[in-house]
Structure 1
Amino acid sequence: MPLHTRAALRQQPASPDTATFRTALRRLVGGVSVVTVGRGEDRTGLTATSVSSLSAEPPTVMFGLNLASSSFPLLGRHRAFGVNFLTAAQAKVADRFAGRGGEKGAARYAGVEWSEGPTGAPLLVGALAALDCEVEDLIERHSHAIVIGRVREIRLGSENAALAYWRGNYERLGWLPEEASAALGLRSD
């Protein structure tokens, strides 16, 4: 290896520390979704801010999933999942699926209404939208897997304000139509 190449390798900066990386990413606003996996008592799920569209043709989404998550083995077993875009009023659902109250497995589904998509994935009634997906690919990298799913069904819900995640907290994004009208001084006849 030439001398100037070795010197360049030695001068590369060290990787950022994990805490600083997490602090930086908390400054990125993310939509809050609940990803659901499994069926019956063999189900669980997680709160995700990493859900993203991959392709419109065919409709495909992706998200990051920790390999140590209880959802990872179920996803491999069932090969299907639901993505539920949460309204601002559904912060408690986000907390439950994030494990903040200690609920695990099927207990995370308590207190709200669910339906089943064609793949068998649980879909949240009242979500902004719910996607029923089949796993196309799981790409393992470092501590996480990139989950790629083909959308099999889309259920559109209300047009309520969305739940967003920013600076380590949930935030409300958007106004209800009647709130916007009131704020602009418009009549809603």
Structure 2
Amino acid sequence: MSRPPGPFPVDPAAARPVFAPADSPSFRNALARVPAAVVVVATDGPAGAGGFTATAFTSVSDDPPTILVCLNRKSAQNETFRNNGVFSVNMLAAEDQAIANDFAGFTKLPAPERFRAGDWTRGITGAPMLLRARVSLDCELVDINPVATHNVMIGRVIGLTIEPPVADRPEVLLYHDRRYREI
């Protein structure tokens, strides 16, 4: 099957990209190449304290301020977040790899014990907020939508903190090519 000529000239001598089917392993490999901020999503309330490390986080709207974050549907923490109805998103500082590992479950700490690392305070909603996070967003849970393997949690941002940058210090912890990076 040949394609009709399009608006973009094709140089037959140019290297051609290798296309692969969009199965789960190739999709994960492709997205591993996309740098993402490392955040800890935390909650506390009637259902207890919980939290997890994520890179699947983004803004949805600035009016009203709204974000989304994804949590694996197999996680035991889904009900904790749903029942508490509040959460924070804390963008980690470059030096906070240990906190990222705790909340990712790599250290096997139970959810409430993960808060022993770092200094925490409470936001307007009562959600735990990491004091040294570069940015913390205090959110009210608006909706949870199941999509494939994950629950997409939508949060309305009620309050926030921004840590001012410090010269000559890496600011943010990123995840890229399956390892932590600093910028």
What TM bracket, shorter-length normalisation?
A: 0.7 to 0.9
For 1:39 and 1:170, locate their aligned partners in 2 and report how far apart those are by CA, in whole Å.
31
Q: How many residues align?
A: 160
Tell me if structure 2 keeps the 8 A contact 1:45–1:71: yes
How far is 1:166 from its partner? 0.1
**Where in structure 2 are the equivalents of 1:132-147 lying within 5 Å?**
132-147=138-153
How far is 1:137 from its partner? 1.0
Q: Which has the higher helix share?
A: 1
Whether 2:169 is the aligned partner of 1:159: answer: no
How far is 1:18 from its partner? 2.0
Q: Which amino acid aligns with 1:136?
A: V
- Please give the root-mean-square deviation of Cα atoms over the aligned residues, in Å: 1.7
TM-score by length of 2: 0.82
Which residue, 13, 21, 28 being the options, matches 1:22? 28
Whether 2:75 is the aligned partner of 1:65: answer: no
Q: Which amino acid aligns with 2:133?
A: A
Tell me if structure 2 keeps the 8 A contact 1:36–1:122: yes
How far is 1:61 from its partner? 0.5
User: Any stretches of 5+ residues in structure 1 without a counterpart?
Assistant: 1-13, 174-189
Tell me the equivalent position of 1:100. 106
Which residue, 113, 117, 124 being the options, matches 1:111? 117
- Structure 2 counterpart SS, 1:68: coil
Tell me if structure 1 keeps the 8 A contact 2:145–2:151: yes
TM-score by length of 1: 0.80
User: Post-superposition, which runs of at least 4 consecutive aligned residues in structure 1 deviate over 4 A?
Assistant: none
**Where in structure 2 are the equivalents of 1:163-182 lying within 5 Å?**
163-173=173-183
Tell me if structure 1 keeps the 8 A contact 2:46–2:83: no
For 1:109 and 1:158, locate their aligned partners in 2 and report how far apart those are by CA, in whole Å.
23
For 2:164 and 2:108, locate their aligned partners in 1 and report how far apart those are by CA, in whole Å.
29
